Structures are given as C-alpha cells and as structure tokens.
Structure 1
Amino acid sequence: MNATQTLPDVRGKLTPDAPLAPLVWFKSGGAADWLFEPKDAEDLADFLRDLDPSVPVMALGLGSNLIVRDGGFPGVVVRLGKAFAKVEALDATTLRCGGGASGILVSSTARDAGIAGVEFLRSIPGTVGGFVRMNGGAYGGEVKDILVEADVILRSGERRTLTLADLGYTYRHSELPDGAVVVAATFRGRRGEPAAIQAEMDRISASREASQPLRSKTGGSTFKNPDGHKAWQLVDEAGCRGFTVGGAQVSEKHTNFLINTGTATSADIETLGEEVRRRVKAKSGIELQWEIQRVGVAK
C-alpha cells in the first residue's frame, strides 16, 4: 500500500506518510502509510468496512508499550482522539470509559465517584484500548479483574460487544482479533472512600517514580515475568544492567526497561532486547518473552 492509494471518505482526519516516532514513547521508528483519527465510532466503522480488506490496520494509544520498526507501518494506524476519551460513572461501582481515555483519567474519575479497585490504572501509561487488548496490569491489579465488557469495531467494520469471557485473557494477552479497535469499555470496581483511593494512587505513583526510569524515552516493561521469576532479576543476573547497543541501553534504574539515550533507532532497541534474551537464556535457561509490541517493517 502507498499514500497515493484511494481510501474511503471520512469525517475525521486522514494523514498520509505520517511519522510515528513523535507518537510513541521510544521516539523512534518510521512512518505509517496513513494515520486515521476518526471523528466518532460510526466514522471508524464506515471506514474499516469500506477499506480494502488486504490493508493492515493497527490501533495506537499513547504508544508506551510499542516499538515501531524503522521502515514504518505499511497500512493504516488508527488513533482515537478526544471523542473517545470520555469517562463517566454509570452507577456506584461501574465506569464507562472511551477507548482513548488515559489510565490517569479513568482512575481519577473513579476516585471522584468513590469507586475503588481501579487505582492500578494510574500507573500504566496507556489508554483503555491498549489496556483491554493487553490485559494491562500493575501493582496487584489487571484488567481482567475489573472488565465487564468492551465495545470493539472489527477489521470488517462490524461493531461488537465482547464480554470478559470472549477476550480469553491470560497474562498480558487477549484474544482480541487483529485489526480490531476497542472504542469503549465498562469497568466495575467496588465502593470506596475518595481519600483512601487517592492515598493508594499516591502510593502507587511514588513507588513507580522511585523504581522506574520515567523521565527517559522508554517503552515500559520490556519482557513478561516468567512463572515464578521476575524479568528484571533475570536480566540483572545475566549481567545486562547498563548494556548498550547503538543508542539503546538497558536501564540502570530498572533492568526490565530499555531506553533510547537520544540517538537509538528502533533496530538498536530491538537488537538490544534480543541480545538480552540471548544472554538470559544462556545464564538461566529461561526464555524471556517480549511484552512490548513490535510492529511494522525493518528498514
């Protein structure tokens, strides 16, 4: 596909040859053939229905858990804007959240409504769509604990509501079909006192600040924790703390984070990750699995 190809009419915004590096936390990688920012769910559904079925589609949230390869993404990247970022309390324990809403907005709205149990979302730098797709989790909570249902638009343009069971959650993984975009989700927590909820959010925030390289260009947790092990510990024991490839480095502060020191290509970052996996396997016999999504084509 290329940027001269005819695409369906939209009411939102379509940008050809759109650089993705500014939109992802690593600040590296190539461009998308097209970036689509739909006006609303109907605009997105119509577009996907009429788009050539052979064109790849990928949803992009805050780009925190993502390596976009240097050759870019050969297809359409969908980014949900303000129209998809609303959060409201439906009742005393239930929240309705747009797919583009941030974890901070969800947890803050929950606090104001006296809904506990979703504080952990405060610590995940992403949007509801990404949380639902990845079964996002941290600090003892994960999306499967709070999800009631998710509204998705399939690659075919069909709109569907998926239940918790439909999503087939495992650790940092769901059965959400390729090319599907999460446009909304319903989360259920429990009654709580706003002051106690805020205190828990503050505790999580302080803990994260102390242990993670938040001021760096990073992609969050790089590898999944293997059963019975902590990924960072395996990386550290394999002698990889501070290890570099080109402009990419294993964080000195938290060894399950890779950082772009300023000049890294996506190839540097991915090569570094693969070398860390190799060293961990050699040292411990354990094969680390990527948690960060890697998309697009190499240059």
Structure 2
Amino acid sequence: MIEGRAEDICRVERNIQLAPYTTWKIGGVADIACFPETEQELAQLLEIYPGAEIIGAGSNLLIRDSGIRGAVIILSQGLKQIALQENGDIVAEAGISCSRFAGFCSDNNLSGAEFLAGIPGTIGGALVMNAGAFGGEIWNIATAATVIERNGKRKNIDRGQLQIKYRKVDGFGNGVVIAGTFKLEQGVKTGTQEEIKKLIEQRKDKQPLDKCSCGSVFKNPVGSFAAKLIEEVGMKGFAIGDAQVSPKHANFIVNNGSASAEQIEEVMEKVIEKVRQSTGVELEPEVKIIGEKG
C-alpha cells in the first residue's frame, strides 16, 4: 500500500464519520474514505486498498460504533450511468438507485422492474444480495454483472456462473459489482407507472418511512414471514434506547434519534432469542454488519 496515492485519484476524507453514509444514520469513524466517480478510479483504488470495505447507498448496512480501521470506498458519488442498448438490454451502473432504475424502465416501455421502486438501495447492492420486494427479485431480470476484482481487473459474470439464493448471491468472490445487464419484457408506460405508484403507496402504508432504518432486518424463514413471527412473540415496539422494533412493521428496526449500533445489535439479538425460544425458528439477519467491535 502506498500512502497518499489515493488523493491523486479522487476525493479522499480522513477520520470521517460514517453515519451520514448509511440509511440508519449510525456508524463510527473510518480511518480513510475514498469517493470514486468512475470505474477507472475504483479500479485504481482497489489496487491500493484491496481490503477496503465497500459502501453503496448504505441501506441494509450497520456500521459499528467503533468504526472501521483502514480504508472505506463509498460508491454513492458516482457510477450512475444507465442506457438502453440496441438489442433491448439495459445496462445500469452500480450507483443507480433502484427507484430510478424502475422509472427508467417504465419510461422506455419495459416491464418487470416495477418492484424495485420499493427498494431503498442501489443496483450494485441489489445485485450483490439478490434484493427483492413485492414478489420480485432482481436476478429474475438481471442477466449478467460486471465486477472489478481486488487487483483492479474488470470481469463480466453471467447469471449462470452465479449461485443465486434468497437474499444471497455466491460467485462474485471479493469483486466489487460496478454494473448489471438486464432483459425485460415490453410493456405499456401507463401500466408500469400505475404499478410503480401502487407499490410505492403500499410501501408508505406498511413501512416506517418517516424513521431512519436499513430496510428489512431479517430474512423471511421458509414458509413464514419474519415480521409475523416477531409480532406474534410480542416484540413489536420493543426498544433499547432509541433503537426500536418499528410499531408499524416488525421487521424494521428504527433509529428514533440517537440510537447506537450497539443498541441496534442488542435489539436484534433480543428479537432472535425471543423468536427462537417461542417458536423454535432461528431468524437470520439480512442486514450486513461491519466495523470494529467496541
């Protein structure tokens, strides 16, 4: 690692608070944070910091209060190109928001991506975890992903080379997803717009959008729903400090103002324990937890 080179590539901040870069608005300090805007800048940074943590929109992510030693690469400032190809495919870079992607598809009379309007993240993060909502999953419409490997090399990976599971994708290795290729069905703009509007209204009705959260905290167990189990065992509304199981949707943990990552983790642990004791079901977190333990 050659100290100082990162500043020659892109914007760099040292000893930076990471809370503003997560949807929970929680997180400690990183030693160094880099903000690449292009694929080339990202590739150069990965050659310098091959072990860097990668942060996209910061949804589905909890950064511990003690922060991150070493480098963080934050992708929310760039990689925002999206284009309709001559063959009808869509290529979208990782920094495109899921909602913008859904809107772009609708504007181009393509259907199948409407469910993405309800996901608070980016295309890159969605591809990495096979994000889904309202019965749809992103790898139902994605055909390939482009990654930058930790040595800075570019690689294209087809869907058939991946092991795609519920909220998990194996096969990227340590590579950083920078773009996805998508194939959708022909649709009618008015119809897709109405579907997007309906899904957004459902999200407003059922989810605590007025509070800071990461999205869904736990994966749905086979044959059931995490929110249903959490509510049935009496944990809806349970709180430790400002970290609370949402009274509106039990699979959301909200930050009511000044919650710490430690409090969020404690609430998660209490929920897992209570559901296990009462039902025998072991809830599995969907949220990724990174950073130093205090």
TM-score normalized by structure 2?
0.95
Paired residue for 1:265?
260
Tell me: CA distance 1:215–1:178, structure 2 relative to 1, closer, same or farther (3 Å): farther
Residue 106 of structure 1: which of 101, 105, 121 is its match?
101
Ranges of 4+ aligned residues in structure 1 off by more than 6 Å: none
2:3 is aligned to 6
Query: 1:184–1:33: structure 2 CA closer, same or farther, 3 Å change rule?
Result: same
User: Quick one: which amino acid aligns to residue 55 of structure 2?
Assistant: L
Q: Distance in 2 between matches of 1:184 and 1:257?
A: 28
Q: Which amino acid aligns with 1:25?
A: T
Match of 2:279 in 1: 284
Give 1:43's aligned amino acid: E
Tell me how far 1:28 sits from its aligned partner: 1.1
Uncovered stretches (5+) of structure 2, i.e. residues with no partner:
none
Q: Find the aligned partners of 1:161 and 1:155 in 2 and give their Cα distance.
A: 14
Go from structure 1 to structure 2 and tell me whether the alpha carbon gap of 1:176 and 1:125 turns closer, same or farther (over 3 Å shift): farther
The residue number in structure 1 matching 2:176 is 181
Give CA-to-partner distance per residue, 1:214-269, whole Å, 9 cap, x none: 11011110100000010001101111011011221000000000011112100000
The one-letter amino acid of 1:13's match is R
Q: Following the alignment from structure 1 to structure 2, what is the Cα–Cα distance between the partners of residues 117 and 132?
A: 15
For residue 46 of structure 1, give the secondary structure of its aligned residue in structure 2. helix
Residue in 1 aligned with 2:153? 158
Aligned to 2:17: 19
* 8 Å CA contact 1:17, 1:33 repeated in 2: yes
Residue 227 of structure 1 is matched in structure 2 by: 222
Q: Offset at 1:90? A: 1.3
Say if 2:113 is the partner of 1:118: yes
Counting matched residue pairs gives: 293
Q: C-alpha offsets along residues 49-103 of structure 1, whole Å, 9 cap, x if unaligned?
A: 233x5xx322211111111000112232222245411211114742110110001
**AA aligned opposite 2:201:** A
- 1:43 offset after TM fit, Å? 1.7
Q: 1:77 to 1:176 in 2, by over 3 A?
A: farther
Say if 1:57 and 1:155, in contact at 8 Å, map to a contact too: no
CA deviation profile, 1:144-174 (whole Å, cap 9, x unmatched): 1011111111122121111112231100001
CA shift in 2, pair 1:81/1:65, >3 Å: closer
SS at match of 1:217: coil
Aligned ranges 1:82-93 → 2 under 5 Å? 83-91=78-86, 93=88
Q: Quote how far apart the aligned CAs of 1:176 are.
A: 4.7
**8 Å contact kept, 2:56–2:76:** no
Aligned to 1:239: 234
Which whole-Å CA distance do the structure 2 matches of 1:91 and 1:65 have between them?
A: 34
Q: Which digits, 9 at most, give the CA deviation of each residue in 1:108-157, with x for residues without a partner?
A: 11111111001111110001110110101001110110111111111221
Which of these residues, 30, 34, 37, is aligned with residue 36 of structure 1? Answer: 34
Give the TM-score of the pair, scaled to structure 1. 0.94
In 1, Cα distance between the equivalents of 2:246 and 2:68?
Answer: 27
Q: Which whole-Å CA distance do the structure 2 matches of 1:250 and 1:178 have between them?
A: 33
Structure 2 residue identity aligned to 1:271: E
Q: Secondary structure at the match of 2:42?
A: helix
**Structure 1 unmatched ranges of 5 or more:** none
Task: Compute the RMSD of aligned alpha carbons.
Answer: 1.6
* Greater Cα shift, 172-181 or 159-168: 172-181
Give yes or no for contact 1:155–1:178 (8 Å, CA) kept in 2.
no
The residue matched to 1:169 in structure 2 has which SS? strand
